Chains A and B, each alone.
Chain A
Amino acid sequence: MSASVHDASAAAARPAVAAGATPPTRRAEGRSRRDGWLRIVSPIALVLLWQLLSATGVLPPSKLVSPTTVVHEGWTLITTNNPSYGTLQYSLAVSAERWGIGFSIGTVAAIILAVATGLSRIAEYVVDPIVQVLRSIPLLGILPLFIVWFGIGELPKILIVLLGALFPMYVNTYAEIRGIDPKLGEAARTLGLSWWGRIRHIVLPGGLPGALSGIRLGSFASLLALVVAEQFNTNAGLGFMITQAESFLQNSIIVLVLVVYAILGLLANGIVRLIERKALAWRRDFAR
């Protein structure tokens, strides 16, 4: 029932070092930082190969435009207001607003639900089955229904993003809170912590590792939901640019937007990693 969708890369990112060993930890940290730089070598090589294949004509522009064309296209769309697309930064801002609103509300709702189901059996029996059923419905299949219900405005798009963020966030946080040792809660009671004190000092920080995995997965899922949602009944945003480019057969714009998506995904991932490094320091020295 409580399927935990733990992000495997989160565990891999944590250096496994024996408890209490300070110097090896520092060495492992240095190694992971160096590995971080090593990890960008192969993507750069791939882009160079792509450029080489385009320049030699092996990859015709009708199938895939060259990286330099993508960069050039991006620069043109930033500096000039294109009549069919607007500017790139405007599309980005429109999409970011939809994503930001949906993702924030989805995340907060997921945490509230996860705390409730993690703490109360009744809430678990009431809420968890419903969430699990809804979770198994493909989000993008719901979109047409949302458009019927909520029209073609911002609401259905934001709702889809919200659900995309909510489900992974809820499942991971709930599993993590359920995994907190009940003995800690008991100890907290003998220390005189109130109900709210136990939520604040035990439940929320205890659920944080799961919540961060949830944010990582949820940011991807909600971005994916946004892309599709923006391809229906929109007149602005990154997804709209793709739809427009498709009808104008502008290969370069499609590739450009895909590159922007990739950068956004990498950024989201990097931000979560940074938060993890700070917030989960207590378990970094701990061999798992």
Chain B
Amino acid sequence: MASRLRTVETTSAACVQGLSRKFGARTVLDDLDLEIAPGEFIAMIGRSGTGKSTLLRALAGLDSGITGTLTVPGETAVAFQEPRLVPWKRVADNLTLGLRTPDAKAVAAGALAEVGLTERAGAWPLTLSGGEAQRASLARALVRQPSLLLLDEPFSALDALTRISMHRLVLSLWERHRPAVLLVTHDVDEALALADRVLVLNEGRIAHSAAVTVPRPRDRNHPELTALRQRLLTELGVPAEEPSAPVEGDRS
């Protein structure tokens, strides 16, 4: 069965060996290996049902049905597709929920300032806009000072403009705090704008891995990115005629 070690390793931020997950007769993750270096930004793309979210849930410690070896740091934080703020706790109290540092309030105030939500600290989550709620969710992950940050399609429900500003925010936060990041997304352009390495997940295995060396901030028309986009879309099974279209209909 699953052997799980929650220890911090010096060589990698997270290490997955021979990870499998079956739902009934269906194999969602099939003997998957993955190593995430400290401070590395990884984006994982794939069609729906390829096991992206299953892998992320396994890394988050939310799945008890996995087999294989999983080494993740104690400080792992997650931001989900829906912000999942606790509606009966004010924004600042959502940040400090489960936080065990003595100066939790000051830490939360600092994180809210970083995501530009200082004046919403006392607001009820249900009064926030979609972008504000997602920024609060990011801040809540951030105050835990994670060495591994798991992002499960956190921007897919936001409008295009908000998404662009969220990309900038995530990059600036990542550059300042340097956690290892695993971003699950269905948007090839998002992956190319943010990540050091883009992984394509197919049939429960990593089918393709592409390093992105273009310095940030990235121009989406950079020739290297255009070539990579083409390659990734081919890997995802999208015909070459529509080179810049994101993979639609993927909400796994």
Contact = CB atoms under 8 A, between A and B. Distances in A.
Contact of A184 (B61, B76, B84): B84
Contact of A282 (B62, B100, B124): B124
B84 A183 contact: yes
A191 B140 CA distance: 9
B18 interface: no
A11 interface: no
Contacts of A277: none
A188 B98 contact: yes
Contacts of B100: 192
Nearest to B150: A190
A19 B127 contact: yes
Given A186-B62, A205-B88, A193 B98 contact: yes
B87 A190 contact: no
A188 B98 CA distance: 8
Given A187-B84, A191-B98, A19 B126 contact: yes
A154 B238 CA distance: 78
A230 interface: no
Interface in B33-89: 60-62, 76-78, 80, 82, 84, 86-89
B15 to A, nearest CB: 19
A201 B97 contact: yes
B88 A190 contact: no
Contacts of B10: none
A190 B76 CA distance: 8
Contact of B97 (A188, A206, A283): A188
Contacts of A183: 80, 82, 84
Q: How large is the interface on A (under 10, 10 to 19, 20 to 34, 35 or more residues)?
A: 20 to 34
A192 B88 CA distance: 18
Given A183-B82, A187-B80, A197 B98 contact: yes
Interface residues of B, number: 25
B3 interface: no
B221 interface: no
Nearest to A281: B124
Contact of A286 (B86, B99, B126, B129): B126
Contact of B127 (A20, A184, A190, A201): A20
A202 interface: yes
Contacts of B86: 184, 187-188, 201-202
Contacts of A189: 61-62
Interface string B84-107: 101111000000011110000000
Main secondary structure of the interface of B (DSSP, over half): loop
B80 A201 contact: no
A128 interface: no
A190 B126 contact: no
B100 to A, nearest CB: 7
Contacts of A201: 86, 89, 97
Contacts of B87: 282-283
Nearest to A198: B98
A211 B62 CA distance: 29
A203 B100 CA distance: 20
B82 A285 contact: no
B62 A190 contact: yes
Interface string B123-147: 0111111000000000010001000
B155 to A, nearest CB: 17
Contact of A190 (B60, B124, B128): B60
A190 B97 contact: no
A20 B144 CA distance: 28
B228 to A, nearest CB: 31
A57 to B, nearest CB: 58
A257 B118 CA distance: 56
Contact of B61 (A19, A188, A190, A282): A190
Given A191-B98, A191-B140, A192-B100, 19 more contacts: A19-B127, A183-B84, A186-B62, A186-B84, A188-B97, A189-B61, A190-B76, A191-B97, A191-B99, A191-B144, A192-B144, A193-B98, A205-B89, A206-B88, A282-B87, A282-B126, A283-B88, A285-B126, A286-B127
Interface of A: 19-20, 183-184, 186-193, 197, 201-202, 205-206, 208, 281-283, 285-286
15 contacts: A19-B127, A183-B82, A184-B84, A184-B86, A187-B86, A189-B62, A190-B62, A190-B78, A191-B98, A201-B89, A205-B88, A205-B89, A285-B124, A285-B126, A285-B127
The 9 nearest A-B residue pairs measured at CB: A191-B98, A187-B84, A192-B98, A190-B78, A193-B98, A282-B124, A205-B88, A286-B126, A282-B88
